[in-house]
Amino acid sequence: MDLRQFLMCLSLCTAFALSKPTEKKDRVHHEPQLSDKVHNDAQSFDYDHDAFLGAEEAKTFDQLTPEESKERLGKIVSKIDGDKDGFVTVDELKDWIKFAQKRWIYEDVERQWKGHDLNEDGLVSWEEYKNATYGYVLDDPDPDDGFNYKQMMVRDERRFKMADKDGDLIATKEEFTAFLHPEEYDYMKDIVVQETMEDIDKNADGFIDLEEYIGDMYSHDGNADEPEWVKTEREQFVEFRDKNRDGKMDKDETKDWILPSDYDHAEAEARHLVYESDQNKDGKLTKEEIVDKYDLFVGSQATDFGEALVRHDEF
């Protein structure tokens, strides 16, 4: 499937989804839960395993012997110690947990990197991205599917320039990650808000009014009666979204809506793991302290043998 077919399919799927009056589009970027397990260390460390490794990776450790788990954990600790000073701090552990929880993002970047680093120099320029993504479709002033590729390219270029910190129009892998997943980076949040407002602000006055807000997530589709959740969203707009009560959301109000200041689960878990493992109470962990408490961080056949057998049968 080429780019044009893919984008047309995507637009049709989006239109179909939005045509369902009972379905709600959610534009809010919440931090995902670290685990769906109950966090109760008196019963098990399953929550901690999922938080530290990511749920999928945690399953693989349940198949290992304690010796194998300790060996692999030791290698992970070396990666977590970013400044290589021999200690793991709360901040380093928090960064690792965030990485483990969002490993799929980095896997997505790796896949796209291979298709856009055309000269294989370890960088992706704007020209490389533009040619690989749009290519020949830009030569057609009136595409059959009616999709405005040039408008999309202008929007992409603006986001690429925002991600490109040094302004050379050449992205490192970190900058390319910020371009593809801007909601994950503080310095990209303004572009997330801008793009969201452009999507919803149909009269282009720079604000989101109540009807634009509702219209983005709900299509009347000829129905006279609105679902209850739509009525609730109207109330949410008036009571909480429109903070200054002027009947519309400005940039700051939109940012508060789509990028809420959520509770930092990763930091809380990092502090918990340090507290439970810090034998000399110096506020940081050595590799030995972590490996000594390996059953808190990772599973093994010794700590979770019964569940490991069940999972083995399932897979």
DSSP secondary structure letters along 149-218: HHHHHHHHHHHHHHH-TTSSSEE-HHHHHHHH-GGG-GGGHHHHHHHHHHHH-TT-SSSEEHHHHHHHH-
DSSP H or E stretch at residue 248: strand 248-249
Task: Tell me the C-alpha distance between 58 and 241, whole Å.
Answer: 39
How distant is the alpha carbon of residue 53 from its chain centre? 16
Q: What is the mean pLDDT of residues 204-213?
A: 97
pLDDT number for residue 9: 45
CB 101 within 8 A of CB 32: yes
Residue 16 scores a pLDDT above 70: no
CA distance 92 to 79: 10
Is the model more confident about 143 or about 89?
Answer: 89
pLDDT tens digit string along 268-297? 999 999 999 999 999 999 999 999 999 999
pLDDT over 70 (residue 158):
yes
Average pLDDT, the chain: 86
- Among 131-135, 167-171, 178-182, the range scoring the smallest mean pLDDT is 131-135
> CA-to-CA distance for 102 and 30, rounded, in angstroms?
13
| pLDDT score of 7 | 44
Can you read off the two tokens belonging to residue 155? 């929007």
